[in-house]
Each structure stands twice: as structure tokens, then as C-alpha cells.
Amino acid sequence: MKNIIINQQIKNNLRSIKRSINNINKKWKNRSNFKSDTLWISIGENCLADDILRRHNRKSFSSVFSSGRSNIEYILQMEKDSYRHLLEKDQLQPFPDGDHYVVRSTYYKNCTGQYNPRHMLGFEFSHHDPLRVKEDARALKRRIYRQLKYRGVKNFIFLYHHRISDLSNISLLRSHLNEFLSLYNINNCHCKVILFYQKIIDTNTEKFIDFIPHNTGLLEFVCHTHAIWAGDDLDTFWAKKDDSLFTSMFSIVDDVRHRELSTPSE
């Protein structure tokens, strides 16, 4: 039993060292984006949005939500209490997840809207273990500190992917995202949230996107695609087959920002 405990401690320490090296590497890769006047980060609902930002060279840094499973209601709860309970060990618990386990928050777990069932089980640290891996806990603390430090100071563009379902309430989702924006659009900051979700169309129809602008800073995109971003095919899972749609989406966002900057304020 003692050997098992020691071996697990060694594994956790090695994982912590590896994570530290990876974090330094990520910071180096994103160093130019981090210095930009506008910061681009992903806020869920899973890590797909973060990977899209990375692939399109938009990512500034990782947020708390970049590599977890969540929903906008969990995000609002954390933002409103400054993430006070997120890393409290008595509020974290490991849960089985296939052949492995994931750590979830037992504090941030309540929501009224409808999301994918996996996103309604409590905030999930899908790729981190703040209970047993020290560097994971340290990295998440840095993300929290950075998020609060720049709120109301920097301009952000937040990327939010909603996994659509028959029970999705897009009107309620918009309301929550606008509330989130109100927390950041203070002190003369001009932040935006890009909301995107799928609508599956026939494979004989060419893929396209619909853009729905809102006067709150919410930029809504409907991605008309041929397959759900899920399954065993990794190119489908990570939405790589639809990268041209994201290129168009970001181009539209750039055009919106350019027009706003070119319009004199009253």
C-alpha cells in the first residue's frame, strides 16, 4: 500500500513538472497575441473554442474555461463571486469518466437553462487535476488572477461555443451572455462575445454561416454544417473540416470592429 501511494505521488509530481514546461511553451507561442490591445480568449462550453482560436492564431491566453466543461451560468456564478469557491478542496470531487476520472466542482453546479447533459454536472476540469497535481492548481490560480486583473481594464473578444440540442433556449442563452458582457463593458471597455452553434444541413448543400448582430456586443453565428462536432473522427470532432467557416466568422468580426473604430463616437 505504501509503495502504491509513493508511486502515485511520483506520477503526480512528474505530471506537475510536465505541465509547467507545457505552460511555459504555450506562453511563448501566444506572446504576441497577449500584447495586443484586444485580448481573445475562449469561455467554453468545452475546449473546442480554445482549439479554434489556437488554430487561427487568435488566442491570447488560456482562461479558466478554456479546457473544461461548463456553461454560461456557471461562468456567471464564478464571475460574480470572483471565483472564490472554485479551487476550495472541499468543493472539488473526482468522478468516473470512462477509463479515467475528472474533477468537478460541487459548488458551481446549478443551472436553469438547457445544455448538453455533460455540461450540467458541475464545472468540470476536463484536463486538469487541481486536487492532486500542484502545477494544475497553480495554473488555475494564475488564470483566475489574470481574468480578474484585466476585467474592466482590457478589451476582450470572448469565444463561446454552444452545443446545440432540441432543448436549447437560445433566447435565454443570449440573455446570459449579455449579462456576462455587462460585467466587462465597464470603465469605457468595449468587449464582445462571439456565440456560435451548429445547424446540420444536407451534405448536398454547401456549408455556410449566418451572422446575427446585436447592439450589446454579442455577435451570433449559426454554422450550417454537415456533421455534429463529435465522434471518433478527430477532424470532425475538432471541427477542422469547417475551418473555412471560422475564417469567415473571424473576418466578419474584424469588419465589425473596423467599422466601429472608424465611426466617430458621439
Tally of CB atoms within 10 A around 195: 21
Q: Does a structural domain hold residue 37?
A: yes
Residue 128 lies in a domain: no
Global pTM reads 0.86
Looking at the domain assignment, is residue 159 inside a domain? yes
Asked if residue 73 is part of any domain, the answer here is no
DSSP secondary structure string, the chain?
-HHHHHHHHHHHHHHHHHHHHHHHHHHHHTHHHHTSSEEEEE--SSTHHHHHHHHTT------TTTTSB--HHHHHHHHHTTTTTTT-GGGEEEEEETTEEEEEESSS---SS---GGGSSS-EETT--TTT-HHHHHHHHHHHHHHHHHTTTSEEEEEEE----TT--HHHHHHHHHHHHHHHS-TT---EEEEEEEEE--TTSPPEEEEEE-TTSEEEEEEEESS-S-SS-HHHHTTGGGHHHHHHHHHHHHHHHHHHHHSPP-
Question: Which of 262 and 239 is assigned the larger pLDDT?
Answer: 239
Task: Calculate what percentage of the chain has a pLDDT beyond 90.
Answer: 78
Structural domains counted in the chain: 1
Answer yes or no: is pLDDT of 19 > 50. Answer: no
The stretch 75-83 carries a mean pLDDT of 97
Map residue 36 onto helix, strand or coil. coil
Residue 89 lies in a domain: no
How does residue 9 score in pLDDT terms, banded at 50, 70 and 90? low
The answer to whether the CB of 91 falls within 8 A of the CB of 105 is yes
Decide if 114 is inside a domain.
no
- In-domain check, residue 101: no
Lowest mean pLDDT among 16-20, 103-107, 231-235, 246-250: 16-20
Q: Is residue 187 part of a domain?
A: yes
In which domain, by residue range, is 158 found? 2-67+133-262
What mean pLDDT comes out for the span 149-153? 96
pLDDT of residue 138: 95
Q: Using pLDDT thresholds of 50, 70 and 90, give the confidence band for residue 31.
A: low
- Is residue 258 within 8 Å of 197, Cβ to Cβ? no
Residue whose C-alpha cell reads 506562453 in the numeric block? 27
pLDDT at 23: 42
